[in-house]
Amino acid sequence: MNDDNPIGINRREMLASGFATAAATSVPISAQAKPQPADQPNRMKVTMTVNGEKRTLDLDTRTTLLDALREHLELTGTKKGCDHGQCGACTVIVDGRRINSCLSLAVMHPEAEVTTIEGLGKPDKLHPMQSAFIRHDGYQCGYCTPGQICSAVSTLQEMRDGIPSHVTADLEGTPPFSVDELRERMSGNICRCGAYSNIMEAMLDVAGERA
């Protein structure tokens, strides 16, 4: 690990990967610079608290928080739907705020408190949002569901914390509780099975409101 290069990418690798991208087009082979084999990956230790348990991982620094959870801690409840921050299936709660874990490297989270779907509840001890999703059939294939639930739990907390959204008219004071607010805040979580109407019912139920 080179301290001068904390993210572990050297200039040669940057160039190599840039040329490799160019090489994927049909440029004549003579015009292509020869990519270089990469160096051994940089590794780094990171310790975080995941679902209340302290976990230390020795990771290839390119490992996303999502893959650290899924591949290294084998917490596969957090899903990979796009790996690009476009679908929300990887939503987890880090230090009290929901994030797309695919858009974040694990080593960026030393000492973080991470809550995944497994930390919210278990099949025999469900979180209220999990049981509301079951009651209102707020899912079908189940693949976006952990992300929806982590987002739904966080959304209600953000409402309580007075954090405004894109549709909040008055940026000062508590945002009004409305389905428009909930839908806006949940729109980073795609459900291709189309359970949105039912997810709203589940969230309203947990929030103590009716549709």
Q: Which 51-80 positions form the footprint of other proteins (CB under 8 A)?
A: 60, 62-63, 67, 70-71, 74-80
CA 161/CA 173 separation, integer angstroms = 10
Residue whose entry in the numeric block shows the structure tokens 């796009």 = 82
Nearest to 90 by CA among 145, 158, 165: 145
Only one of the segments 93-101, 107-115, 168-176, 196-204 lies at the binding site for other proteins (rule: CB under 8 A); that segment is: 196-204
Count how many Cα atoms sit within 13 Å of the Cα of residue 34 in the half-sphere of its side chain: 2
Nearest to 94 by CA among 155, 149, 48: 48
CA 13/CA 87 separation, integer angstroms = 29
Residue whose entry in the numeric block shows the structure tokens 């694990």 = 106
Determine, following the binding rule CB under 8 A, whether residue 24 of this chain makes contact with other proteins: yes
CB closer to other proteins out of 14 and 95:
14
Crossing angle for the helix pair 179-186 and 196-206, to the nearest 10 degrees:
120
Residue 94 C-beta: closest distance to other proteins, Å: 16
Residue 17 C-beta: closest distance to other proteins, Å: 5
CB closer to other proteins out of 106 and 172:
106
Residue 37 C-beta: closest distance to other proteins, Å: 4
Determine, following the binding rule CB under 8 A, whether residue 45 of this chain makes contact with other proteins: no
Secondary structure (3-state) at 36: coil
Candidates 10, 49, 140, 157: give the one binding other proteins (CB under 8 A).
140
Q: How is residue 117 annotated by DSSP?
A: H
Nearest to 106 by CA among 77, 73, 67: 67
Residue 172 C-beta: closest distance to other proteins, Å: 23
CB closer to other proteins out of 23 and 112:
23
Determine, following the binding rule CB under 8 A, whether residue 164 of this chain makes contact with other proteins: no
CA 64/CA 106 separation, integer angstroms = 5
CB closer to other proteins out of 67 and 205:
67
Residue 19 C-beta: closest distance to other proteins, Å: 9
The interface with other proteins within residues 92-131 (CB under 8 A) comprises 116-118, 120-124, 126, 130-131
Determine, following the binding rule CB under 8 A, whether residue 178 of this chain makes contact with other proteins: no
